[in-house]
Amino acid sequence: MTAAKSKSVTPIASQEARERIIAAALRAFATAGFEGASTRQIATEAGVAQSLLLYHFGSKDALWRAVMDKLFEGVSVRMAEALRQTRGGSVKDQLLAMIRGFIAICAEDADIHRIMTIEGRQPSERLKWLVDRHLRVGHRQACDLIARGQKDGSVRQGDPTLLYYSFIAIAGTAFSLAPEIALLTPDKEVVSAGAIESLIEALIFL
Amino acid sequence: MTAAKSKSVTPIASQEARERIIAAALRAFATAGFEGASTRQIATEAGVAQSLLLYHFGSKDALWRAVMDKLFEGVSVRMAEALRQTRGGSVKDQLLAMIRGFIAICAEDADIHRIMTIEGRQPSERLKWLVDRHLRVGHRQACDLIARGQKDGSVRQGDPTLLYYSFIAIAGTAFSLAPEIALLTPDKEVVSAGAIESLIEALIFL
DNA sequence: ACAGACCCTGATCGATTGATCAAGACGGGC
DNA sequence: GCCCGTCTTGATCAATCGATCAGGGTCTGT
């Protein structure tokens, strides 16, 4: 960890501050949206000065992009692993692994689905950046898989994109709207990942 | 229109301004969230001065509540009509009417689902107000219907609330994330209400 | 014609926003 | 010891925020 990185002169002192800022910014952006989140509130939650966050990232927009890169780095790693472990399996097994992985991601951190649905609702430069840099690949992979499943008869017919967004909507909404659901059913325990999975299975597969 | 309303002294001059303000505020709240939307931007879009909007509604919070009342007034009218027309029918027919009604509402105005998912993601006084005043009744009605359908064997087993939010998620997401989907599939036409309906049918019914 | 209620606007308030800047703290290389 | 690049802070900027206020316009009732 303290080993010198060949030619790099930077001793990599406090990358921890960057990570704390990104974590706080993720929560703020996910709950209040881009304009609703303030850099001062993010800095306070991260325990640093507000100017430090502009020193590291340059602007609020650049901070948002850094948060998204960090977010989808983790997501793509998990999804790639799920697909790798079922490489030789059937299309249905690969799709199931993808679905289980996405549910697990949403269960661990509901902010992921929150932040994705915040930006997708109006055209903007941020949405364009997000789609081109992070969303396009996953959508393409999933839709290819769905189309192959439709060909071999294991997946329900219909627009692959609609099926893709439907399963994302079910898995994500159950967790991202947890505060609302908790107010509606205060005595009920948290929603279970297994129930969501069987629901999505019934929706996707024949 | 100019007819005197019995004892009421107010001539009800410009209620049109109120409605323009509410319409503009709905769009603003639905896309930018409560904190992200500014009263000046809303006033500009409505073609009035910013102070007029505080004259009519008192505060930004009160304007938000007025927008919600207007929004759910229309929704509850449509849902009540859908249920009334299938009063004598089977549970499945009543649920189908409810689903079709909700899809039609989302197709007409995607802002409804947008605004519902914006507030449900973090605990707040606004969410508490929204749940108690507008969401609780619809949730109760739908879940009762789902439970009855589960008893007579026409509806899939599972937590009624999860089934309820799943069908809302599918119907709403397809329209509220339309800008994102359009960027992903630029050549494709808009998503069809019929495709969504058959998808939800497969999810809900046995 | 006058008075009063309602509707609406422009100016302005203090607070907060994202961004900039000067200055200090810290540590490694000479 | 001294210097220099990195990291961090506090002060401060113009712009914008929600909210308040005084005042004018318009109509109705008398």
CA distance B158 to B166: 12
Per DSSP, what are the bridge partners of residue A155?
A205
How does pLDDT run along chain A (206 residues), one tens digit per residue?
A: 333 332 223 445 578 889 999 999 999 999 999 999 999 999 999 999 999 999 999 999 999 999 999 999 999 999 999 889 998 899 999 999 999 999 999 999 999 999 999 999 999 999 999 999 999 999 999 999 999 999 999 999 999 999 999 999 999 999 999 999 999 999 988 889 999 999 999 999 98
Picking from B33, B120, B169, the nearest residue to A179 by CB comes out as: B120
Q: What is the 3-state secondary structure (H, E, C) of chain A?
A: CCCCCCCCCCCCCCHHHHHHHHHHHHHHHHHHHHHHCCHHHHHHHHCCCHHHHHHHHCCHHHHHHHHHHHHHHHHHHHHHHHHHHCCCCCHHHHHHHHHHHHHHHHHHCCHHHHHHHHHCCCCCHHHHHHHHHHHHHHHHHHHHHHHHHHHCCCECCCCHHHHHHHHHHHHHHHHHCHHHHHHHCCCCCCCCHHHHHHHHHHHHEC
Residue at shortest CA–C1' distance from D20 = B51
CATH 1.10.10.60 boundaries in chain A: 12-58
Indicate the fold that domain A67-204 takes in CATH: Tetracycline Repressor; domain 2 (1.10.357)
Give the per-residue pLDDT at B109.
92
Work out the minimum CA distance from B6 to partner chain A, whole angstroms: 42
List the 167-206 stretch of B: residues with Cβ below 8 A of A: 168-170, 172-174, 176-177, 179-181, 183-185, 188, 191, 195-196, 198-199, 202-203
Measured between beta carbons, which residues in chain A are less than 8 angstroms from residue B141? none
Q: Residues B139, A184: contact at Cβ < 8 Å? A: yes
Angstrom distance, B157 CA to C8 C1'? 57
Give the per-residue pLDDT at A174.
95
CATH 1.10.357.10 boundaries in chain B: 67-204
Q: What is the 3-state secondary structure (H, E, C) of chain B?
A: CCCCCCCCCCCCCCHHHHHHHHHHHHHHHHHHHHHHCCHHHHHHHHCCCHHHHHHHHCCHHHHHHHHHHHHHHHHHHHHHHHHHHCCCCCHHHHHHHHHHHHHHHHHHCCHHHHHHHHHCCCCCHHHHHHHHHHHHHHHHHHHHHHHHHHHCCCECCCCHHHHHHHHHHHHHHHHHCHHHHHHHCCCCCCCCHHHHHHHHHHHHEC
Candidates B12, B171, B137, B40; CA nearest to A162 is: B171
Residue at shortest CA–C1' distance from D7 = A14
Q: Residues B115, B71: contact at Cβ < 8 Å? A: yes
Picking from B121, B158, B181, the nearest residue to A161 by CB comes out as: B181
How does pLDDT run along chain B (206 residues), one tens digit per residue?
A: 323 222 223 445 578 889 999 999 999 999 999 999 999 999 999 999 999 999 999 999 999 999 999 999 999 999 999 889 998 899 999 999 999 999 999 999 999 999 999 999 999 999 999 999 999 999 999 999 999 999 999 999 999 999 999 999 999 999 999 999 999 999 988 889 999 999 999 999 98
Architecture of domain B12-58: Orthogonal Bundle (1.10)
Q: Which nucleotides of D are covered by protein (CB under 7 A)?
A: 5-11, 16-22, 27-29
Instruction: State which residue of chain B sits closest to A158, comparing Cα positions.
Output: B195
Q: Residues A88, A99: contact at Cβ < 8 Å? A: no
A144 touches chain B (CB under 8 A): no
Q: Residues A48, A20: contact at Cβ < 8 Å? A: yes
Measured between beta carbons, which residues in chain B are less than 8 angstroms from residue A184? 131, 135-136, 139, 161
Angstrom distance, A125 CA to C20 C1'? 25
